[in-house]
């Protein structure tokens, strides 16, 4: 039997999930990144990830983002797509893990409410 169809469309979303501040990365994720960029694992670890003292785990580094305060450093600011899709961490492959995406549901709720199919809440228009 075919898998149930997802109730979200990433192509219609500004990549909210990539703006999540603590995107955890494991050793094998860093190894994959190092291989992708043909660099040393230790260099990849420092360049692409940082230690989150509160969560006690390594997370993806962010950079400034047009829509959100910051987003993963690998998010393309124009296309809103992942620039390292083949080498993205496991958590990015697994998310949201269900047929529904909470971020997407909220996005659709806002767009319905404002009757604007292109609306994206940003740090500028959120009070
Ligand atoms: S927030 Fe949800 S709908 Fe948007 S890109 Fe991420 S998984 Fe896709
Ligand atoms: S690695 Fe790609 S999919 Fe994962 S958070 Fe960064 S931009 Fe998003």
126 found inside a domain: no
Least Cα distance to 24 among 54, 51, 58, 52 occurs for 58
Contact 92 CB / ligand 2 (< 6 Å): yes
111 found inside a domain: no
Which protein residue's CA is at the shortest distance from atom 1 of ligand 2? 88
120 found inside a domain: no
Identify the band that residue 4 occupies on the pLDDT scale cut at 50, 70 and 90: confident
Query: For 22-49, what is each residue's pLDDT tens digit?
Result: 999 999 999 999 999 999 999 999 999 9
Identify the band that residue 3 occupies on the pLDDT scale cut at 50, 70 and 90: confident
Q: What's the whole-model pTM score?
A: 0.91
Three-state DSSP class for residue 105: helix
74 found inside a domain: yes
Domain that holds residue 50: 14-98
Q: How far apart are CA 83 and CA 77, in angstroms?
A: 10
117 found inside a domain: no
Number of domains the chain contains: 1
Ligand 2 center to 75 CA (angstroms): 6
Q: How far apart are CA 92 and CA 60, in angstroms?
A: 11
Average pLDDT value over all residues in the chain: 93
116 found inside a domain: no
Q: Is the pLDDT of residue 2 over 80?
A: no
For residue 75, the ligand 2 atom closest to its alpha carbon is: 7
Ligand 2 center to 74 CA (angstroms): 6
Q: How far apart are CA 9 and CA 30, in angstroms?
A: 28
Beta-sheet pairing, 57-60 with 70-72: unpaired
114 found inside a domain: no
Q: Which residues of 29-41 are buried (b: 16+ CB within 10 A; e: fewer)?
A: bbebbbeeeeeee
Contact 71 CB / ligand 2 (< 6 Å): no
Mean pLDDT of 92-116: 95
What residues are in contact with ligand 1 under a 6 Å CB criterion?
Answer: 8, 10, 13, 15-17, 95-96, 101, 103-104
Query: For 55-94, what is each residue's pLDDT tens digit?
Result: 999 999 999 998 889 999 999 999 999 999 999 999 999 9
38 found inside a domain: yes
Q: DSSP string covering 83-98, please?
A: TTGGG--HHHHHTT-S
Contact 18 CB / ligand 2 (< 6 Å): yes
């Amino acid at each position: 039997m075919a898998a149930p169809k997802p109730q979200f469309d990433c192509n219609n979303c500004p990549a909210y999930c990539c703006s999540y501040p603590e995107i955890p990365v494991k050793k094998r994720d860093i190894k994959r990144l190092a291989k992708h960029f043909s660099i040393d694992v230790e260099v990849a670890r420092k360049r692409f990830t940082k230690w989150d003292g509160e969560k006690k785990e390594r997370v993806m580094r962010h950079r400034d983002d047009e829509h959100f305060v910051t987003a993963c450093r690998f998010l393309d600011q124009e296309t809103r797509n992942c620039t390292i899709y083949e080498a993205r961490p496991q958590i990015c492959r697994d998310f949201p893990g269900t047929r529904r995406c909470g971020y997407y549901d909220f996005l659709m709720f806002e767009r319905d409410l404002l009757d604007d199919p292109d609306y994206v809440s940003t740090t500028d228009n959120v009070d």
